[in-house]
Amino acid sequence: MLRLAAPLLVLSLCAAAPARADDMDLALGRLRIVGGQDGCSPARTEQQFSPNNELFERLVSEVAVAIAPGVSTPAHSIGASGLRLGLSTTVTSVEANQSYWLLGTEGADASAAEPFNAAPEQALVVNRLELRKGLPFGLEVATHFGHGMSTSMWIMGAGLKWSLVEGFRTGTGKLPDVALSGSLSRSVGTSQAIFHVGSAELTLSKPFVVARSWRFSPLAGLQVLLVDVESDVVDLTPGGVSDTPGTAPVEDAVESCIPEPGNALDGGRPTNILCNGDGSDLDNDVVFDPVSHERARLFLGAQARYDFFTLAMSVHFDLVGPTVQAAKTRGEPNLRSESAARHVAFNLALGATL
C-alpha cells in the first residue's frame, strides 16, 4: 500500500506546479480612483490616488471562494487506524468579464501602456494534496497543501472531522451517516493580500455495495465559509506619477531620493541625499479596507471506493452572494448589484486509504 501511495504523491506535486505564466496574480495597484473616493475623504490632488475598495472587495471575495477546500469525503470515518492520502482539483467559476478582474490581475501581455489583463481566465483552479488520519470516537484530523494554477499563491491549512452517526445499516436503524467538519486555510506566496478562509460543513451520506467489490457513497450537505482578507501596503503608482495624462512619470517614490555617489560617510550614514522629487508619490502607498464575508453553499457529490482506492466528485454552489460593504461608495457606475457574485465549484478527488 505504501508503494502505491508514492506515485500518488508524485502525481500531486506535478499537478501543483504552475502550468503557465502567473497571469492571474493580483495587481492591486490598478484598483485606484483619481483623487478622493467620496465626499468624506480628504482632498487629494490630481497626482494622488485613492484605493477602489469596492473593486478590491469584489475581487478578493471571488479569490477566497476558490481557496476554500471542496467536500469530497462521505460522512463515515476511515477508522481509528486509517490513513488517507488524497489529491484534489477544484475548479471555481469567476466573473472574468468584470472590471475588477481585468484591472486587478496581471495578464500575460499587460504593460504600462495597457495596464490590464486582456483575457482573464474564466475559472480558478486549485490543486491540493491532503493527508487525513483517523482517530478514536469517529474523529479525523487533516492537513492540506495546495497551489493556485496560473498564480504564485500557495495554500496551507488543517481540518477536523467528527462522524456523529455512522454504521446504521439494518432494521429500524437504516439512517444516513452524519458528520460535522471544519477547516482553516491561509494563503502564502503573494505579498499584496493575505487570505484566511474558514469552513464548517454538515455532511450526510449513505454507502451502498455494488458488485461485491465497489462501495458507492452519495453525499450532500451544507457548507459555510468565513472569509477574512487583508491587503499589504500597495503602491497605486508603481511607475510614478506624471503632470499630464500620457506623459512620462516625473517622480517615483522608490527612485526619487537616492544617495549621491561619492559622498563621505558620517557615522555610517551619507552626509547628503540627492532628491529628484518632493516625495509626494509616497502618498499613493495605501492599504485597502479589510474584507470579511460569509457565504453559505450547498454541495452534492459521491465517492466510489474499490479496495483502498477512492474517486470522488462533488459540486458546490452558493445560495446567496454576500453584501459588498464598499458598494455605497462605489467607484464603478456599471456595477449595479450590492451583492458579490455567486459561484459554482467542481471538485474531483483521488485518494488511497492505507
Q: Which domains does the chain have, with CATH numbers?
A: 2-234+275-353 (2.40.128)
Neighbour-count burial of 312, counting CB atoms closer than 10 A to its CB (0-12 exposed, 13-18 middle, 19+ buried) = buried
The rounded distance, in Å, linking the Cα atoms of 252 and 278 is 10
Among the listed residues 98, 200, 198, 92, the one whose alpha carbon sits nearest the alpha carbon of residue 151:
92
* Residue 349 scores a pLDDT above 90: yes
The model's pLDDT over 284-341, given as tens digits with 9 standing for 90+, comes to 788 999 999 999 999 999 999 998 899 999 999 999 888 888 765 554 444 556 788 8
- Cell numbers linked to 2: 505504501
Q: Which of 96-110, 116-130, 139-153, 325-339 has the lowest mean pLDDT?
A: 325-339
* pLDDT in the model for residue 16: 41
* pLDDT in the model for residue 200: 97
* Residue 136 scores a pLDDT above 90: yes
Region 25-42 average pLDDT: 71
The distance from CA 282 to its chain's CA centroid, rounded to whole angstroms, is 29
* Residue 201 scores a pLDDT above 90: yes
Region 227-251 average pLDDT: 68
* Residue 108 scores a pLDDT above 90: no
Among the listed residues 197, 200, 343, 225, the one whose alpha carbon sits nearest the alpha carbon of residue 294:
225
Among the listed residues 22, 101, 99, 49, the one whose alpha carbon sits nearest the alpha carbon of residue 239:
49
Vertex 100: Cα angle to 95 and 103 (nearest 5) = 125
Q: Give the model's confidence band at 34: pLDDT under 50 very low, under 70 low, under 90 confident, else very high.
A: confident
pTM of the predicted structure, to 2 decimals? 0.80
* pLDDT in the model for residue 212: 81
The rounded distance, in Å, linking the Cα atoms of 177 and 169 is 10
* pLDDT in the model for residue 195: 96
Beta bridge partners of 340: none
* pLDDT in the model for residue 267: 53
Region 238-254 average pLDDT: 51
* Residue 148 scores a pLDDT above 90: yes
Region 237-261 average pLDDT: 53
Region 108-121 average pLDDT: 70
Average pLDDT, the chain: 80
Region 195-224 average pLDDT: 93
